[in-house]
Chains A and B, each alone.
Chain A
Amino acid sequence: MFPITGTPALLLAVVFGFAFGWLLHRGHVADYNTIVRQFLFKDFTVIKVMLTAIIVGGIGIFVLVHAGYAKFHVKPADLLAITLGAGLFGIGMVLYGYCPGTALAAIGAGSVHAFVGAFGMIAGGILYALTFDWVSQTILPVWAMGKVQLPQLLGVGAPLIFGALGLLVVAFFVMLERRSSDSGAP
């Protein structure tokens, strides 16, 4: 029955994309102010959404893969490219005020500057394709560790990692909520 392919999958792409955009907007992260305030440590909405998605999503995915209902889609750890790329991404995300996914939801919700920045993203995509030959020869092969996951790398089971990560994240959330109720800030 699964996975669904062909034309029905194209219809589902719109449905799943719609759900994603809806969740981003309802979670208040399709908002420039929320994202920039996160990086100024004045609002922790972004990190709350992301860590909850990672823990809830991750536990489910590992169970589903273990039960044979899903497959992993792990990206290769080309660590120089990822470090440089993520470094640039952080700078660009703060200047833009959105990441690519939240930008799309924000465009839908009426953000004109997100729309203008989307042309910048298209230009960035063109720039990358035009420099790809150089990047693929010079940067991608450096510290290329393959499609490695933390359980293999650390030699501990995924349940232990999620257990430890879950405890840390819950403790972090409790601290955030206590602090915000003490100060009366949102």
Chain B
Amino acid sequence: MSTHALHYAAPATATQINWSPYLAGAGIGILSWIVFVVVNNPIGVTTALSQISGGVASIVVGPDEVAANKYWAKNAFKLDYGTLFLAGTLLGGLGSALAAGTWQIEKVPEVWAERFGPSPARRYVAAFIGGIIAMYGARLANGCTSGNGISGGLQLALSGWVFLAVMFITGTITAFILFRPKTN
């Protein structure tokens, strides 16, 4: 198969991994019980991701600049619980996809291709810019969908519920503008 071919998500195989969303959600809830008790740590992703950005930045701007930065001083890069949890999450996606037999290179997803065409470059640019905005927002809010939304939401934290409400509003507005029907 050509490596340049597009691979859309195949509905036929996707059904194999289609657990009930309630089962997956309950699983994440129960995983939260376990991590709170066993490692005294809520599920979260972006704090460790900012440690990795500090690791990358020390290559780009130099280790002195990173060491002098107050934010990275608090979140220095190391192989600790948070960064290893991220590695585990990536491996979990890999393991699940391999076990289900659905592992597949995806360059341009179906919904994007329907609106913006099959160009991988265009999708990559959008993903890169989206990644910048999402991460900056997640750090400003002190957590993402996992740390603020789920872990904050389940502790009935005000921070978590405000985060959930606002992200769903701006996400919906963005989606309706971005994926409005073509007018031609």
Contact = CB atoms under 8 A, between A and B. Distances in A.
Interface in B1-49: 9, 14, 17-19, 21-43, 45-46, 49
Contacts of B172: 39, 41, 90
Nearest to B19: A26
Contact of A121 (B49, B109, B140): B49
Given A40-B175, A100-B144, A129-B54, A61 B155 contact: yes
A89 B157 contact: no
Given A60-B30, A75-B157, A132-B70, A97 B127 contact: yes
Interface string B141-175: 11111111111111111111111111111111111
Contacts of B136: 85, 88, 92, 124-125, 127-128
Contacts of B170: 86-91
B138 A122 contact: no
A36 B9 CA distance: 14
A93 B90 contact: no
Given A120-B127, A150-B156, A125 B135 contact: yes
Given A71-B40, A90-B169, A96-B127, A23 B149 contact: no
Contacts of B94: 21, 108-109
Contact of A112 (B120, B138, B148, B176): B120
Contacts of A79: 158, 162
A145 interface: yes
Given A107-B93, A150-B161, A94 B171 contact: yes
Interface of A: 2-5, 9-10, 12-33, 36-37, 39-41, 44-45, 48-58, 60-62, 64, 69-79, 81-97, 99-114, 116-130, 132-133, 135-136, 139, 145, 147-151, 153, 158, 161, 173
Contact of B106 (A18, A54, A112, A135): A112
Interface residues of B, number: 128
B92 interface: yes
Most buried by B among A25, A53, A58, A112: A53
Given A21-B88, A49-B21, A129-B57, A113 B154 contact: no
A20 B92 contact: yes
Contacts of B88: 13-21
Contact of A129 (B50, B132, B164): B50
30 contacts: A13-B80, A14-B91, A15-B88, A17-B84, A19-B31, A19-B92, A20-B88, A23-B92, A26-B100, A27-B23, A36-B109, A37-B111, A39-B175, A50-B153, A70-B37, A73-B36, A77-B159, A79-B158, A79-B162, A81-B142, A82-B166, A85-B163, A100-B45, A100-B146, A108-B90, A110-B105, A117-B131, A121-B131, A125-B52, A149-B158
A13 B85 contact: yes
B138 A89 contact: yes
Given A27-B19, A109-B93, 12 more contacts: A2-B37, A21-B96, A30-B93, A49-B22, A50-B145, A57-B150, A95-B178, A100-B138, A103-B131, A108-B92, A130-B69, A150-B156
